[in-house]
Structure 1
Amino acid sequence: MTQITVRPGGEGDLRQTLDLLNEIIAIGGTTAITKPLTRKDLGGWLMADPGKAIWHIAEDSDGNLLGFQWIGPWGDLPPEACEIGTFVKSGRTGLGIGSKLFEATKPAARGMGYNWIDAEIRADNTSGLAYYQSRGFEQYKRKENITLDDGSIVAKCVKRFNL
């Protein structure tokens, strides 16, 4: 079993994080992001709101990135809520990486004053839906006919976790 360590992400983690996310985007089907990101894009997202957003990385004992999870303000969410995004290295799902990340994210969200966490998951992302359900997220809305950047149309399940 791989040893998994979780810690807050920072500037020095952007290259590995970018590579992991762009691989997931290239595979397709699990994220609403459809176009590869640049380091500047990713840094602007992950580190745009200090004090309102945080991201954690999970790595193995050799320092290899296994996944990351971000929370922060998003869209039209009220100030007491934050959005979450979880990304685990392809081929490494189901090993407890997401669970370890969420155990770090929950107290961080509380510490920033959030009362609940919102997750928007593609309705065709069965592993993502199962992950958030197993963490205790409950669906409160469904969005239909969402057009992604590549022109594909998907539905999204919107789930909530009360802190």
Structure 2
Amino acid sequence: MPERPEVEVRPGSEGDLAALTDIYNHYIRETSITFDVVPFTVEQRRPWLLSHPKDGPHRLLVAHFPGPSGRILGYATSSPFRPKAAYATSVETTIYLAHDAGGRGIGTLLYTALFEALAEENLHRAYAGVTLPNAASLRLHERFGFRPVGVYEEVGHKFGEYHDVAWFEKRLG
């Protein structure tokens, strides 16, 4: 597989939906990183894609190899933190990588691009929830200036076990 310098980051599009759904479904089927338990069809995932326009505070960025058959290696999003209006200046961020794309700096590339884009928005805070254990995600969030704000203990039950979620906060503006 080519090294990271050939990887490009761009806004996600309709043509990416099948690959993005496959990436997410891997984490549903194989890990406790997400608490979804039933894989999505592409059609079920379409509203999620459409909720992330190319501009504004709620973004979807994809990392891919350039060219017409460029493989999607992962994605980063900023989504509404909560639905109530007073939360509008806060976002929740997340990253999902293809199962074989970790450890190559792609998460760093995605978060760098995402936070550069968000710098132009009227945002105050970013939040991220990390299911424990997940050392790679903890390192990534700390590298980007997120600070721990608490742990929801045994908040999710998947694969016959309870899982904690650590919450992190980053000042944006």
TM-score, normalised by the number of residues in structure 1: 0.88
2:76–2:110 contact (8 Å) kept in structure 1: yes
1:34–1:148 contact (8 Å) kept in structure 2: no
Q: Secondary structure at the match of 1:105?
A: helix
State the partner residue of 1:66.
73
2:149–2:168 contact (8 Å) kept in structure 1: yes
TM-score, normalised by the number of residues in structure 2: 0.83
Q: CA deviation at 1:61?
A: 3.2
State the partner residue of 2:32.
29
State the partner residue of 2:142.
133
State the partner residue of 1:161.
170
Classify 1:151/1:82 alpha carbon distance in 2 versus 1 (closer, same or farther; 3 Å).
Answer: farther
2:90–2:124 contact (8 Å) kept in structure 1: yes
Inter-partner Cα distance in structure 2 for 1:30 and 1:88 = 12
Inter-partner Cα distance in structure 1 for 2:49 and 2:132 = 24
Q: How many residues align?
A: 163
- Matched-pair identity in %: 24
Q: Bigger radius of gyration, 1 or 2? A: 2
After superposition, the CA RMSD in angstroms is 2.1
Structure 1, unaligned stretches of length 5 or more? none
> Which amino acid in 2 is paired with 1:66?
L
Inter-partner Cα distance in structure 1 for 2:62 and 2:36 = 19
